[in-house]
Amino acid sequence: MAATAMLVTPVLAQPEVEPFSLDAMGCMKLRECKDGVKEVYSMAEIEDFYGNPGNTFSLIEDEADNILSALKESGVKVFIAEAQYFPVDHRGVYYPDDNVMFLNAGRLTKAHHMINLLRHEGWHAAQDCMAGSIDNRFIAVIFNDELIPNYWKETAQRLYPASVVPWEQEAKWIGSVEGETGKALEACATGAMWEIYEPTPMTREWLEANGHL
């Protein structure tokens, strides 16, 4: 019997990048760095990533699962990754151009940190949806500025460049508010974003100018 040749696909090593750097985060975003990065759809899968930490996340499980489900329905992929893929001051990131979110496992071992970040980054996805649809590269504020408590405005001004404060002050505030992120993402997923959240005057002008309204 003639021998049968077998094609073997080589296993490609991921690129070498400096850990805890923007280059590492970019490599993860491009999906070129995959070791220690897992796509997740529920808190149960996040717990598995940590090696079954028991009831660590039990108090936030319902709200977190609601956010994760709404993100999926909206077209956003969520990954949890080892800390080496993030600069040391980054807990997570949402990319509106790719509709993908990355969570820093090294900074989220406590339940209140995890739910705060899911609300915060999930709100950026809702801002993405507010700016026309989830399938764009823009984000828009959802609430009028006067509705945001001064504490969160001042916090954002300390932490972020002035160019991103309007979006970040909103997300920082919502990170402390139970249920609001899930509600906004469900509005996005069902196409009811502008019915449930009246666009601000500037956002409405943008939406009309770009044919969304």
Q: How many CB atoms lie within 10 A of CB 1?
A: 3
- Tens digit of each residue's pLDDT (9 = 90 or more) over 20-51: 999 999 999 999 999 999 999 999 999 999 98
Of 45-54, 61-70, 148-157, the range with the lowest mean pLDDT is 45-54
Which distant-in-sequence residues (6+ apart) come within 8 Å of 182 by Cβ? Answer: 63, 66, 67, 70, 122
Query: Which two three-digit tokens encode residue 109?
Result: 């071992």
The CA-atom distances, in angstroms, between 25 and each of 72, 104, 115, 125 are 22, 10, 22, 18
The reported pLDDT for the residue numbered 12 is 56
**Mean pLDDT over residues 96-100, rounded?**
96
Put simply, whether the predicted model's pTM sits higher than 0.85 gets the answer yes
Of 3-12, 63-72, 87-96, the range with the lowest mean pLDDT is 3-12
- What is the rounded average pLDDT for all residues in the chain? 92
Cα angle value 64/20/136 (rounded, 5°): 55
H or E stretch including 121?
helix 111-130
Of 3-7, 42-46, 64-68, the range with the lowest mean pLDDT is 3-7
Q: How many CB atoms lie within 10 A of CB 78?
A: 25
Query: Which two three-digit tokens encode residue 78?
Result: 């969520």
Nearest alpha-carbon partner for 78 in 116, 104, 108: 104
Pair type for strands 92-95 and 100-104: antiparallel
pLDDT at residue 123 above 50? yes
Backbone CA torsion sign across 68, 69, 73, 79: positive
